[in-house]
Structure 1
Amino acid sequence: MEGKWFTLEEANALLPQLKEDLRQLQLLAEQIEHHNLKLQKIKVNHEQRSIAHAGQDPFFELESKLDFMQMEANLLINNFARKGVLLKMINPGLIDFPSVLEGEDILICWKEGEERITHYHGWHDGFMGRKQLPDDSR
């Protein structure tokens, strides 16, 4: 893999900023979901009434807002990649950091709610393959 490789210390040092970035992304995701549900309800009501608005798109404003929010979410998601980390899940937050342990390429991982990074897994193991980091690496 090309890209950044993290020591445990570097990953833990980056964690406070990543937690803040994640929280912003989670709030934005909630807003997108809320506005999307609102748009779907408006569309259903509009179809049921079948009122024609000559030359007007009754959904334009809300659809535009959703498009903008999605672009903002994509920017936040891309910020994780630019920092060299792998955002695996937004809610609950799950972040992996490429690393090396005893000569083996691994992913040290953090799950939302954990104070610091204490686990890792192989590249193909996923979250279910998490193992506690050896004491000498913490």
Structure 2
Amino acid sequence: MNDKTFTLAEANALLPQLKADLQRLQALADQYERLYRELQRRRAQEGASSLREDVKNNVNGINDGDDPFFELEGRLDFLRLEVDMEVANFTRKGVLLKMISPGLIDFPAVLDGENVLICWKEGEERITHYHSWDEGFRGRKSHPEA
């Protein structure tokens, strides 16, 4: 990560773009989760019947190389790359994405000479709180400039 620090005004100015980025990321993560559950469901269904067929084909010397999960696994791999790229975009902007859903974003800052994190939680209209690096979200306090 870079050494960027934000003022409260800078963090609030960046917030609309971060909210849009977060919505894209959440949609991708939801899509990934749905496809992953679908893959698990199909594997469970295929399980015993596929194993019996594989044994029969291997005994008979037949191995056609068809993977019934190849396409779905490929889509999952691609979605994972997209999710990783979206997460990296937050880092490139100098912010810390702490949680995807609900969204939780920290902005490194200096307040009264102390390194702190200005924090925003999804659903909040604007950024109004901060906490120390050690306290985390539970140690949130009202920002004096909010």
Give the TM-score, by structure 2 length: 0.90
| Pairing of 1:103-114 with structure 2 (within 5 A) | 103-114=113-124
Shift of 1:3: 1.3
- The CA deviation string for residues 16-36 of structure 1, in whole angstroms up to 9 with x for no partner, is 000000000001111000000
Shift of 1:46: 1.0
Q: Which residue of structure 2 aligns with residue 92 of structure 1?
A: 102
| Pairing of 1:116-127 with structure 2 (within 5 A) | 116-127=126-137
Cα distance, 1:79–1:2 mapped onto 2, change above 3 Å:
closer
Partner SS, residue 91 of structure 1: coil
Q: Residue type matched to 2:135 in 1?
A: D
Shift of 1:61: 0.3
Moved over 3 A (4+): none
Cα distance, 1:2–1:80 mapped onto 2, change above 3 Å:
closer
Partner SS, residue 15 of structure 1: helix
Q: Residue type matched to 1:9 in 2?
A: A
| Mapped contact 2:2–2:94 kept (Cα < 8 A) | no
Partner SS, residue 80 of structure 1: helix
Moved more, 7-16 or 52-61: 52-61
Please report the RMSD computed on the Cα atoms of aligned residues, expressed in angstroms.
Answer: 1.3
CA distance in 2, matches of 1:95, 1:25: 13
Shift of 1:2: 5.0
Shift of 1:109: 0.3
Partner SS, residue 97 of structure 1: strand
Q: Which residue of structure 1 aligns with residue 13 of structure 2?
A: 13
CA distance in 2, matches of 1:10, 1:59: 46
CA distance in 2, matches of 1:55, 1:8: 57
Q: Which residue of structure 2 aligns with residue 38 of structure 1?
A: 38
Shift of 1:103: 0.7
Shift of 1:85: 0.2
Shift of 1:115: 0.4
- The CA deviation string for residues 5-59 of structure 1, in whole angstroms up to 9 with x for no partner, is 0011110000000000000000111100000000001111111322447210111
CA distance in 2, matches of 1:102, 1:114: 24
